[in-house]
Structure 1
Amino acid sequence: MTSPHHASGVRSVIGVDAGTATLREADHLIHRLLDQLSLADGVFACTHLFRTDERRGTTVSLAVPGPDADAVWQELVHVLPKGTGLALADRSHGPGDAVDTARLAAAAPPASGRAVAYPGVAHLTGTVTVADLLDRTVIEHLVVLGAPGVRLPPTAEVLTQDHVRPEWRDGVLTLTLVPAAGGLLAPFEVPNPTPCCADHI
């Protein structure tokens, strides 16, 4: 897979179905993998909601630099629990149904997916300006909910709540914002979403 123009190089996408049911569980899985695996700083880790006839849940995709894919694959095989499905190009590991949903995750970005880890996310703490958000991360586009045509001034401030989850929309990493108290903006998704929101498909 060729990455978007803002992230140089070619990335390989590994799909993971570890049985996570909610976005919160998938977020925890991603953070655990980031702590355990030898991942480059430029990794993209996304969540993907799915529904099949048998179940519904959340899968994860890890987009890593091409040369790192084999090493990351081997680490995933050893650190993830039995029953996890993994998919990378024509390679697979785990039960067939979990592999099928892992393949869907691997094929999703950059057309779709909710990004949890991505280049520059470490800078998104506290309150940041629109200019800093766009200059210091790979987020390319900002949308204000209910006002899609509004052009935000570079000095507008965003209260991150240390929880910024942009989404891939047709190859563009896009963050949806809402008005917040004090004239600030904030990401549409709040930290620790309630189960009814997190499970919505």
Structure 2
Amino acid sequence: MTPYVLTVDAGLKDLREADHLLQALAAGLDLPEGSFGCTHLVRDERPRVALSLAVESGEALLSARRQLTEAGYEVSEGAPDEVGRAVLYPGAAHLTGTVSVAELLSRSAIARVTVLGTTQPPSAQTAVVTRDHVRPQWLDGELVLAVQPAAGGTLTPFEVPDPTPCCADH
């Protein structure tokens, strides 16, 4: 990840809302190619989802910081933690439909794919049904995508695009 990182705390409570805000902010900021945007679960006296933006130049960071501050956002230096969930990353737009593990790795900044419930990496030819929602996480400095087995020998990202809220039927 790049050394130029800032955190935006908009007091958000859910990941979907954070994803949408992160994408809207990034589009408005016109971030340079190679930028990353992540969500972070903040677990303190005021649990929330914070956003981080990582860019490759100090100039781009200063511009983003100025624009975000002027828009009224609480902005601070650095990331809230080292395990952000990546929403914006190089190649994310190319991970739609069904792609092989090899394509997923070659088309994006994702360094590794892990299959839940096994210690073995998936075969490079295994199909990943992306559901157009691929959210890898930073682990030990690498962007790692957790997937799960699906129908027909395929894999799907562990995180679903439209999760059912807890207690939705109550």
Give per-residue Cα distances to partners, 1:93-131, cap 9 Å, x unaligned: xxxxxxxxxxxxx242xx311000000101100000111
Partner of 1:184: 154
Indicate whether 1:132 and 2:100 are aligned: no
**Offset of residue 78 of structure 1:** 2.5
8 Å Cα contact 1:24/1:193 also seen in 2: no
TM-score, normalisation: structure 1 = 0.78
Question: Which residue among 54, 64, 70 is the counterpart of 1:72?
Answer: 64
Distance 1:193 1:78 in 2: 33
Aligned residues: 166
Question: Which residue among 44, 53, 58 is the counterpart of 1:52?
Answer: 44
Distance 1:107 1:48 in 2: 7
TM-score, normalisation: structure 2 = 0.91
Partner of 1:61: 52
Q: Unpaired segments of 5 or more residues in structure 2?
A: none
Q: Secondary structure at the match of 1:122?
A: helix
**Offset of residue 159 of structure 1:** 0.2
Q: CA RMSD in A?
A: 1.6
**Offset of residue 196 of structure 1:** 3.2
Partner of 1:173: 143
8 Å Cα contact 2:42/2:80 also seen in 1: no
Give per-residue Cα distances to partners, 1:120-176, cap 9 Å, x unaligned: 1011000001111111111011110001x2232211100000000000111111100
Partner of 2:5: 13
Distance 2:13 2:121 in 1: 36
Partner of 2:134: 164
Runs of 4+ in 1 over 3 A off after TM superposition: none
Give per-residue Cα distances to partners, 1:3-26, cap 9 Å, x unaligned: 3xxxxxx43101010111111111
Percent identity over the alignment? 48
Distance 1:114 1:185 in 2: 19
Q: Secondary structure at the match of 1:195?
A: coil
Question: Which residue among 17, 37, 50 is the counterpart of 1:25?
Answer: 17
8 Å Cα contact 2:40/2:80 also seen in 1: no
